[in-house]
Amino acid sequence: DAEITQSPRHKITETGRQVTLACHQTWNHNNMFWYRQDLGHGLRLIHYSYGVQDTNKGEVSDGYSVSRSNTEDLPLTLESAASSQTSVYFCASSKQTGGLDTQYFGPGTRLTVL
């Protein structure tokens, strides 16, 4: 069955280190998204992509970057991890052009920055 996966599921790192979180979907969806989830804030959009080589900033993009070299993957990189980036990260994808349809979420990655 088609699905969306994230790895690792749990990660502990130190302040200042570069961290990359993987997201892989097998639905052949054009659109992919990264969110972070924090208590009291719900889900906030970090970055998104509407297709290969396309990336866009969301509402909380500072300190994060993404790249889209193929349809299936949208890795999220924390250039220099900070304690404020301790959170649960969710990747999502949707099929319609322009990001205009239902988003399906992965299982999440819990990141702790010490």
Partner 1 sequence: GENVEQHPSTLSVQEGDSAVIKCTYSDSASNYFPWYKQELGKGPQLIIDIRSNVGEKKDQRIAVTLNKTAKHFSLHITETQPEDSAVYFCAALRRGGSGNTGKLIFGQGTTLQVKP
Q: What does the binding site for partner 1 look like in residue numbers (CB under 8 A)?
A: 31, 33, 40-45, 48, 50, 56, 58, 90, 92, 98-100, 102-108
Are 6 and 22 in contact by the 8 Å Cβ rule? The answer is yes
Task: Name the residue nearer to partner 1 (CB basis): 14 or 110.
Answer: 110
Task: Name the residue nearer to partner 1 (CB basis): 14 or 54.
Answer: 54
Are 105 and 90 in contact by the 8 Å Cβ rule? The answer is yes
In whole angstroms, the minimum distance from the beta carbon of 48 to partner 1 comes to 7
In whole angstroms, the minimum distance from the beta carbon of 16 to partner 1 comes to 29
Strands (E), 18-103: 19-25, 31-38, 42-51, 54-57, 64-66, 76-78, 87-94
